C-alpha cells in the first residue's frame, strides 16, 4: 500500500514456536503462514521476519497492512485465518505478542 489513508492499520505479531530453531517444522510453519494468510484478499504487504533484538525473547514476526478497519475485520473473520489460528497457531506457537498500529 503506497498511499496510506487515515484508516490504515499495520497488524503485527511477534512469536516463538514450539519447534526447534532451524527445523523443517519451523520453516514449514513460516512458509504456510505466509501462503495461507496472503491468500486472504484484504491482506497487503505481508512480511515474515526473524526477530533479532536482544531486548526480548521472541523469534519471528508476521506483519501485514490493511486499508481500513473493515478490511482488518474481514481478515480476522475470514475462514482461512480462523482455520490457521485454530489448527496451526494454537498448536504450534509457544508465545506471542500482537500489536496493531494506526497513523
Q: What is the pLDDT of residues 16-53, one digit of tens each?
A: 999 999 999 999 999 999 999 999 999 999 999 999 99
Predicted local distance difference test score (pLDDT) of residue 3: 56
Q: What is the pLDDT of residues 56-91, one digit of tens each?
A: 999 999 999 999 999 999 999 999 999 999 999 999
pTM: 0.90
List all residues 6 or more positions away from 41 whose beta carbon is below 8 Å from its beta carbon. Answer: 74
> Residue 75 region, left (φ>0) first, then alpha (ψ -120 to 50), else beta?
alpha
Alpha-carbon gap, residue 81 to 39, rounded angstroms: 10
Task: Write down the mean pLDDT value for the chain.
Answer: 95
Amino acid at each position: 500500500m503506497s498511499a496510506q489513508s487515515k484508516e490504515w492499520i499495520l497488524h503485527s505479531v511477534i512469536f516463538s514456536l514450539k519447534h526447534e530453531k532451524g527445523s523443517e517444522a519451523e520453516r514449514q510453519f513460516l512458509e504456510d503462514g505466509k501462503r495461507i494468510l496472503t491468500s486472504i484478499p484484504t491482506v497487503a504487504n505481508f512480511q515474515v521476519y526473524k526477530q533479532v533484538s536482544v531486548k526480548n525473547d521472541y523469534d519471528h514476526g508476521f506483519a501485514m497492512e490493511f486499508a481500513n478497519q473493515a478490511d482488518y475485520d474481514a481478515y480476522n473473520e475470514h475462514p482461512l485465518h480462523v482455520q490457521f489460528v485454530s489448527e496451526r497457531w494454537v498448536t504450534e506457537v509457544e508465545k506471542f505478542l500482537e500489536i496493531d498500529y494506526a497513523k
